[in-house]
Structure 1
Amino acid sequence: MEPITRTTERLLLRPFGPQDADAVYQACQDPDIQRWTVIPSPYTRADAELWTRTLSPAGWREDTMYNFAVVRRDDGPLVGALGVNRCGLPGTYEVGFWTAREHRGSGYATEAVLAAARWAFAALAADRLEWRAEIGNTPSRAVALRAGFRMEGEQRSALFNKGIRHDTWTGALLPADLGLTGTYPHRPATDVSGAP
């Protein structure tokens, strides 16, 4: 897929490029980003260059992952990162994100997640956008809830991060949650007992 740019009231979501390596490197020195995400730890300058120059552009070319640098529209500093990745089932994608420490609490992550969700439902024909975070990552959970994700439970040993398996919270957002129509019909469970 050709990389795209999205805008919101306050943000620009654009593909990562080599110009982002310094800002990514600086943001990813934050122990919270290293703790709660699957980025390497310690995070080196070489890691930032590999991400911005090679891995992120390859995801767009190969139609496997669509990563956005999230920047403020007014003066352009990097406020975070957001990715939409293909999952195994048709029409199912997973969203992941981090926010630079100095920009947390501003609502930027929620704004970016909603923009990415609308794009995924329209451009990728997504019918389900999943969110997953290690249990205990309450800021990520708060963003998912504010964006309208419905919490679906906990999964044991569902995340492999830095050589350790972790339990996760999981949630999902459907097109109907944002007033949109999905690609395929959805038949929600109305009576799980099996009674007519």
Structure 2
Amino acid sequence: MEPITLTTERLLLRPLAPDDAEALYVACQDPDIPRWTAVPSPYTHENAADFVGRICPEGWRDDTMYNFGVFTADGGALVSSMGLLRFGASGLAGPERQAELGYWTAKDKRRKGYTAEAGRAVCAWAFDALGVERIEWYAEAGNDGSRAVARSVGFVMEGTVRSKILYAGTRRDAWSGSLLPTDWDREGKTPYEPYPPGAAA
């Protein structure tokens, strides 16, 4: 897929570029980012260059992950990195039509509603342009900030998944949530029959 750009009232979401490597490196020196995400620790200039120069372009080209850098519309400061990962061998074009939303936020941009604003834009794009029918969110249990963002986006919390995340040589429980088109009054391409039969979707 050709990379695309999204805009919101306060933000510009665009593919990360080589010129963004330094800002990415600086943001990822915050220990909370590698603590709660898959970002390497320590995070080096080489990690940043590889992410913007290889990983991000490959994801768009191969239709495996669509990574966005989230920037303020006024000033262009890096707010966060946000990715939509597609699921299944058949990808978003196949019958599964599922994806996972992941993100981190720069320390000085937290608690401003930026990441939830960006998340709503990416999820709307996933539903409307990609035909996604289920978006999942996971975070290590205890990551209250990520859960608060997910809830603000509209994710419905589904519970705790045991032993899902591997961190520092140990397996950790994860919180999970999902967002369906019907949660936003959109119709999915595949009929949904919730359990028990006849329950509200």
- Range into which the TM-score falls when normalised by the shorter chain: over 0.9
The residue that corresponds to 2:38 in the other structure is 38
What's the offset of the Cα at 1:176? 1.1
Alignment of 1:86-165 (within 5 A): 86-88=86-88, 90-165=96-171
Q: Does the 8 Å CA contact 1:38/1:162 hold for their aligned counterparts?
A: no
| Identical residues among aligned pairs (%) | 52
| Aligned residue in 1 for 2:48 | 48
TM-score (norm 2): 0.92
Deviation at 1:50, TM superposition (A): 0.3
Which has the larger displacement, 61-70 or 174-183? Answer: 174-183
Between the aligned partners of 1:3 and 1:108, the Cα distance in structure 2 is: 21
Counterpart for residue 65 of structure 1: 65
State the SS of the aligned residue for 1:95: strand
RMSD: 1.3
Contact residue 68 and residue 82 of structure 1 kept, 8 A:
yes
Q: Which moved more, 1:130-139 or 1:182-191?
A: 182-191
Secondary structure of the structure 2 residue equivalent to 1:130: strand
State the distance in 2 between where 1:149 and 1:70 align.
20
**1:3 partner letter:** P
What residue identity is the alignment partner of 2:180?
A: L
* Number of aligned residue pairs: 192
Distance in 1 (alpha carbons) for counterparts of 2:65 and 2:170 = 24
Please tell me whether the aligned partners of residues 25 and 45 of structure 1 are also in contact (alpha carbons under 8 angstroms).
yes
**Any unmatched runs of 5+ in structure 2?**
89-94
Per-residue deviation at 1:165? 1.8
Cα distance in 2, alignment partners of residues 118 and 191 from structure 1: 28
Unaligned runs of 5+ in 1: none
In structure 2, which of residues 173, 178, 183 is the aligned counterpart of residue 172 of structure 1? Answer: 178
What TM-score, normalized by structure 1, do the two folds share? Answer: 0.95
Deviation at 1:87, TM superposition (A): 1.7
The answer on 1:17 being equivalent to 2:17 is yes
